[in-house]
Amino acid sequence: MIARDRLRSTLRRRRAALSAAERQLAAQRVARHLVKTPWFRAAQRIAGYHAVGGELDAGPALLAALAAGKQVYLPVLAPDGRLWFQRWHPRMPMRRNRFGIPEPAAHPRHRLEARALDLVLTPLVGFDRAGNRLGMGGGFYDRTFAYQRLHRRWRRPPLIGLAYDFQEVNILASEPWDVPLAGIVLPAGARRLETGAAGLP
């Protein structure tokens, strides 16, 4: 755990050192790569996230999804520590959850559970080529997609990380409750990850 905490701190500091121009350029490059992937082309209901703490901005990717006629969702924190996904568009009012992260302020009837999505773009602090993901430590994505650990050949929706190139590490220790990424999109390009490759288009 200490090693994961140290790695988390190191990578977060490196993210924080990026300039606004570097962040914007990286987000635009990631969006351009994402729209060319089979994950994006096959998906109609795409979930993203509101970037905080130096995370790679998913905004350009989500706007590209809307421009392509797809439905876009953002996570909403449920009382049990899992995530629901709320339909979103750029003009929608937002409110902050208990961690200060903006969430769509819309009627719950426009929410979906995780299984109903076609693609989930996930934030992360670090990742490795086996699909292991280092998050912020809250476990929200792992709890929400825990059912995928029971279906090794049916990992739907695919979880695709968005990250800066330097967030890849050689080996990231995994925990029994970790849900692997199916792929990653970086400014340098998009690729499948080893553990999460099963069942992808």
Residue 7 has pLDDT above 70, yes or no: yes
Beta bridge partners of 161: 122, 184
Query: Residue 1: is its pLDDT beyond 60?
Result: no
Residue of 62, 112, 104 lying closest to 84 (CA atoms):
112
pLDDT at 42: 95
Q: What is the 3-state secondary structure (H, E, C) of the chain?
A: CHHHHHHHHHHHHHHHCCCHHHHHHHHHHHHHHHCCCHHHHHCCEEECCCCCCCCCCCHHHHHHHHHCCCEEEEEEECCCCCEEEEECCCCCCEEECCCCCEEECCCHHHEECHHHCCEEEECCCEECCCCCEECCCCCHHHHHCHHHHHCCCCCCCCEEEECCHHHECCCCCCCCCCCCCCEEEECCEEEECCCCCCCCC
Burial classification of residue 70, based on how many CB atoms lie within 10 Å of its CB (0-12 exposed, 13-18 middle, 19 or more buried): middle
pLDDT the model gives residue 10: 92
Dump pLDDT digits (tens) for 16-39. Answer: 999 999 999 999 999 999 999 999
Q: What is the pLDDT of residue 16?
A: 93
- Class (C level, CATH) for 2-192: alpha beta
Mean pLDDT score across all residues of the chain: 88
Give mean pLDDT, residues 62-66: 98
145 is in an annotated binding site: no
Per-residue model confidence as pLDDT tens digits over 88-137: 999 999 999 888 888 988 777 778 889 999 999 999 999 999 889 998 76
| Percent of all residues in the chain with a pLDDT value above 90, rounded to a whole number | 57
**CA 182 to chain CA centroid, nearest Å:** 11
The pLDDT tens digits of the residues spanning 152-201 come to: 655 689 999 999 999 999 888 777 678 889 999 999 999 998 764 443 44
pLDDT value, residue 199: 38
Query: Does 137 belong to an annotated binding site?
Result: yes
Above 80 in pLDDT, residue 83?
yes
Residue 147 known to bind ligand: no
| 37 vs 19: CA distance, rounded Å | 28
Is 139 known as a binding-site position? yes
> Residue 129 annotated as binding?
no
Tell me the pTM. 0.89
134 assigned to a ligand binding site:
yes
Torsion of CA 66, 71, 74, 77, to 10 degrees: 170
Domain boundaries, the chain: 2-192
Among 5-9, 53-57, 71-75, the least confident range: 5-9
Q: Is 161 annotated as a binding residue?
A: no
